[in-house]
C-alpha cells in the first residue's frame, strides 16, 4: 500500500520520494474514466470564452484604427458558440462599408456634419430612406468630392426609391457618407494568432477546473 510521498534524512543528506498515495491513484483512475466528457466540457467553455474575448478586442482594435465607436463595430460582429460535438466556434465580422452615421454620434453644424474624427463639410444629417437618419450631401454641392465619399451610394433618378429626395419642390441627387472597412483585413491574421494563444491559456484553466471539481467531489465521497 502506497502512503504517498515521503522523505528520509541522514547525517549527511536528505532524500524526498515523490509518489502518489493509494487514494490518489484510485482518484486518477476514476478521473481517467470521465476524462473524455470533462475534456469536452472544458474545450467547449474555453472556445466560447475565447470568442467573447476576441469579439471585445477586435471591436476595440478596429474602432481605434478606423475612428469608429466600439459599439458600432460590435454590431458588425456575431458570435457562433460551440454547439454539440463540433468542437469549434466562429466569429463573423461584416466588412462591407459602414454608414458614417453609425460610426458615432453625428452632429449637425452650420458647415456640415461631424461624427467622431470625421468632418463632412456641406453635408446634412437627415432621415431620407428607412427609419434611420444618415449623412448626405448633394452631388451638385461645391463641397462634394467622390474621393471624400468612398463607397458612397450616389443616387440617380428613376422613381421614389431611387435615391432622390424632394426638397423645396425640386429634386437633387445625393450621396450617402460611408466608411470603408477594407483596411481591417490585416487584423484577422494578427487576432487569429492571438486568439489561438488565448484559447490555450483558457483551456488549461478549464481543464484544471474540471480536475479540481472532480477531486472535490471525490473527497466528499
pLDDT band for 121, please (50, 70, 90 cuts): very high
Question: pLDDT tens digit string along 159-187?
Answer: 333 343 444 334 568 888 888 888 888 88
So what's the pLDDT on residue 164?
Answer: 39
CA distance 161 to 166: 11
CA distance 130 to 121: 24
Nearest-angstrom CA–CA distance, 211 and 39:
10
Count of other CB atoms within 10 angstroms of residue 142: 8
Model pTM?
0.69
Q: 15-36, pLDDT tens digit by residue?
A: 656 566 677 677 667 777 777 8
What CA–CA distance (Å, rounded) separates 147 from 68?
19
pLDDT over 50 at 158, yes or no: no
Domain boundaries, the chain: 36-95+182-220, 99-179
Amino acid at each position: 500500500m502506497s502512503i504517498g510521498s515521503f522523505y528520509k534524512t541522514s547525517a549527511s543528506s536528505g532524500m524526498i520520494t515523490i509518489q502518489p498515495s493509494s487514494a490518489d491513484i484510485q482518484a486518477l483512475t476514476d478521473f481517467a474514466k470521465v476524462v473524455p466528457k470533462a475534456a469536452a466540457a472544458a474545450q467547449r467553455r474555453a472556445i466560447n470564452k475565447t470568442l467573447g474575448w476576441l469579439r471585445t478586442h477586435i471591436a476595440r482594435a478596429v474602432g481605434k484604427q478606423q475612428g469608429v465607436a466600439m459599439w458600432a463595430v460590435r454590431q458588425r460582429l456575431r458570435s457562433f458558440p460551440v454547439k454539440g460535438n463540433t468542437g469549434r466556434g466562429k466569429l463573423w465580422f461584416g466588412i462591407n462599408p459602414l454608414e458614417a452615421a453609425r460610426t458615432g454620434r453625428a452632429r449637425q453644424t452650420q458647415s456640415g456634419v461631424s461624427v467622431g474624427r470625421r468632418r463632412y463639410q456641406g453635408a446634412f444629417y437627415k432621415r431620407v430612406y428607412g427609419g434611420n437618419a444618415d449623412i448626405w450631401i448633394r452631388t451638385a454641392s461645391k463641397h462634394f468630392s467622390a474621393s471624400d465619399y468612398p463607397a458612397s451610394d450616389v443616387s440617380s433618378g428613376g422613381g421614389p426609391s431611387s435615391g432622390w429626395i424632394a426638397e423645396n419642390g425640386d429634386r437633387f441627387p445625393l450621396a450617402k457618407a460611408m466608411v470603408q472597412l477594407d483596411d481591417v483585413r490585416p487584423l484577422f491574421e494578427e487576432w487569429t494568432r492571438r486568439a489561438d494563444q488565448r484559447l490555450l491559456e483558457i483551456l488549461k484553466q478549464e481543464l484544471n477546473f474540471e480536475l479540481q471539481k472532480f477531486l472535490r467531489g471525490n473527497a466528499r465521497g
